Structure 1
Amino acid sequence: MTLQGVSLRIARGLFYCASRMYNRVNMDKFMLALLILSGAFILAGGIVLAIAAPRFSEPVILHVDPVIGVDRVGSVGEAIGMFGIGVVMVAINLVLAKEFLERMPRLAYVSAAAGALVALLTLVATSYVASLN
């Protein structure tokens, strides 16, 4: 299975989770929008990585410091691993938001917003690595 197929399955799972949460709990549109936004950012990051990963040549530049220059290089697997860690962090935040929604709705909103922020940062990091290489 390709990386693009995996990212599509992850995004589909996030959208499915959002729809199940909407059906099970009387959730407002703001929470649903945060969940969909997180899924869209993860999907976009996966597509960027799927398009750029075949063009990567070893070693892959992962970070550039303006003063020093290139200070972190790695393999294609490390670039994909960075994206995977971001996906896991978003999934944990969304599961926490689901669990907090019934008992502590404000904390659920904070967790869902943090998930959307982490998804956005994952998209930025993935795009940065893709543009460097």
Structure 2
Amino acid sequence: VKQIDGYGKGAIVGTAGELEHGALWHVPGGYAMRERLGDAKAIVPSAKKVGAFGSKLDVPLGHINAAYVRSHFDAMEVGISDGPRPDEILFCLAMTCGPRIHNRMGGLAADDIKAWDGLR
């Protein structure tokens, strides 16, 4: 757990559901993940959609303590071949160790986080 420095979350709601069903999980899912990782400061990036069998979701990723750390801007594709069924919701948590490979966007570096406000 100590090596994790990037995260994101997402939901794919089956076709019989509503987008809001996936949205309702974002607050408890985000707080639980942040607490488990040692009270991470940054909001957990998220995505959601309504989808059929085999739908994929690009889950956005960001740094756990500062949203402006650009080296951790990334995404992870998530999905399962036989779901979600119409009455199911696929919830996912994505976590990373380290920055995006070959990152060179500049900006705030993870080692330079100072404010500890979740942004800078």
| Structure with the higher fraction of residues in strand conformation | 2
TM-score (norm 1): 0.29
Q: Which one has a bigger Cα radius of gyration?
A: 1
TM-score (norm 2): 0.31
